[in-house]
Amino acid sequence: MNWLLPRFVLAVLAVLLGAAIGIWIEHWLKLSMLSELLSASCAVAALVLVDAIRGHRLLQWLRGSQLDTAPRDSGLWGELAYRIERAVRDRDKTIARERTQLDQFLSAIEASPNGVMMLDEQDQIHWCNRVAADHFSLDPQRDLRQRVTNLVRSPAFVAYMQAGQFEKALILNNVRGLGTLSVVVRRYGEGMTLVLSQDITERERADAMRRDFVANVSHEIRTPLTVLSGFIETMSSLPLTDTERRRVLTLMGQQTQRMQGLVSDLLTLAQLEGSPRPAPDRWVALDGLLARINSDALALSAGRHQIDVQLDTHIELAGVESELLSAAANLVTNAVRYTPEGGDVDVSWRLLSDGSGELSVIDTGPGIPREHLPRLTERFYRVDGSRSRETGGTGLGLSIVKHVLQRHGGELQISSEPGKGSKFKLVFPAVRVRLMGETPLGVESAMSSSLPN
């Protein structure tokens, strides 16, 4: 109220000044009392005029954008302007803070890997992030205020939205001809609806693969079991000669071995998937591995093939010995198993200029048609099922090889042509290859590139 006293004093002064002028006029011009009254009124009117001008200035500022400072007057108008300006500035700050929070919130939702869409009471799109727009083929700007069921025309989605039963997620298959979406809808606020969408194509694919895998394993195990139970029944119900009994026992032994091979390969795969990546500083002599592979191949071939394994590579590979042996042995065993009698199997090492290296297994077998090549490393994938089973294959060998190589940072390369044999290459990265006792080339180049010039 510190403006009240000066204002009162000013009003009294204005009246006194007006009266003094009135007395002066009366004295000199000999006019009546009226002139004093008139002068006092003029003084008050002047005061009101000043007030009107100041009030007008403040109103003008309020009507404008309020970006400049409010009129700096003294007294009542000054304090009024100051307080209004402070309230306006506080309001602006609160709005700016809330806008920043909203922006941050929206950009967090925008960054979400899932789709988020908000619908109003009429199921019109109020806001949606880019992922939701992508999932439902929407335009986040153009399609605002449009009814969602007019834009997302999938009959399952329309029926789901119309039914309003949102306890269970909706699974939309073949969305945009691509994959599978899981859609969850929740009501919130006053009649608002939140639509959350998630691309579950990969998850569905993994589930399907797991289901296929279990079905395949069951099938692979059931077949030898059926054969075995048949033989057991035969042996227990029929009187067999010694020769027949020996034959049946041999066949039973083969089926048992087949099951053992399958279980052992399954365990190897499970182990590969469950264990950490091999350390890059445990060195294994390649020549030792090749010597073992050579003798196994010779035993398996039993003189039916010309087998040539390079045994003097003087190379060491960084990794797990049992895994490296298993990968190379699988390739050589396949080469021997699938190459007809009289064919060649060559195993050789090549060190490349960038320090990486490759172990090649080349055979002169039947070769593999091009269309099968990309699928060879799938579990239980066989080009010729009966040939594979005949020779004791489980259908898991190349899958194991691929896993081992991936874990060692390398890759399995396959090239083959029907009638011209096959070439399987295990490619190892430079950091996992070295000449006996020397530093791997990959490590040297990595070190020299990190040294200052």
State the burial class of residue 47 (Cβ atoms within 10 Å of its Cβ: 0-12, 13-18, 19+).
middle
- State yes or no: residue 397 binds ligand ADP (CB under 6 A): yes
Distance CA 91, CA 114 (A): 35
Binding mask 417-436 toward ligand ADP (x if CB under 6 A, else -) reads -----x--------------
Measured from the CB atom, is 39 or 394 closer to ligand ADP?
A: 394
Quick one: which of 307, 324, 335, 351 contacts ligand ADP (CB under 6 A)? 335
Residue partners of 115: CB distance under 8 A and separation at least 6: 128, 129, 131, 132, 133, 134, 135, 136, 195, 196, 197, 198
Nearer Cβ to ligand ADP, position 198 or 388? 388
Decide: is 268 part of the binding site for ligand ADP (CB under 6 A): no
Which contacts of 174-182 are long-range, i.e. CB under 8 A and separated by 24 or more positions? 175/135, 175/136, 176/137, 179/204, 180/204, 181/135
Q: Which of 378, 452, 450, 451 is nearest to 414 (CA)?
A: 378
List the one residue from 120, 204, 384, 411 that touches ligand ADP (CB under 6 A): 384
Please give the C-alpha separations between residue 222 and each of 112, 210, 257, in angstroms, as whole numbers: 46, 18, 14
Among 29-37, 74-82, 352-360, 390-398, the segment contacting ligand ADP (CB under 6 A) = 390-398
Residue 411 contacts ligand ADP per CB under 6 A: no
Spatial CB neighbours of 381, under 8 Å, sequence gap ≥ 6:
372, 375, 395, 398
Are 56 and 77 in contact by the 8 Å Cβ rule? The answer is no
**Contact map string, positions 355 to 374, toward ligand ADP, x by CB under 6 A:** --------x-xx-x------
Q: Candidates 57, 130, 314, 382: give the one binding ligand ADP (CB under 6 A).
A: 382
Told to check if 388 binds ligand ADP by CB under 6 A, we report yes
Region from 174-182, 229-237, 346-354, 378-386 binding ligand ADP, contact rule CB under 6 A: 378-386
- Closest to ligand ADP by CB, 61 vs 380, is 380
d(CA 16, CA 12): 6
CB of 258 to ligand ADP, least distance (A): 10
315 binds ligand ADP (CB under 6 A): no
Binding mask 129-158 toward ligand ADP (x if CB under 6 A, else -) reads ------------------------------
State which residue, 376 or 433, has the beta carbon closest to ligand ADP: 376
Nearer to ligand ADP, 18 or 366 (CB): 366
Backbone angles phi, psi at 127, to 5 degrees: -165, 145
Nearest CA to 435 out of 313, 292, 299, 330 is that of 313
- Of 198, 334, 360, 364, which lies in the binding site for ligand ADP, with binding defined by CB under 6 A? 334
Q: Which of 150, 160, 163, 162 is nearest to 182 (CA)?
A: 160
**DSSP three-state, residue 409:** coil
Binding residues (CB under 6 A) for ligand ADP: these are 334-335, 338, 363, 365-366, 368, 376, 381-384, 388, 393-399, 422
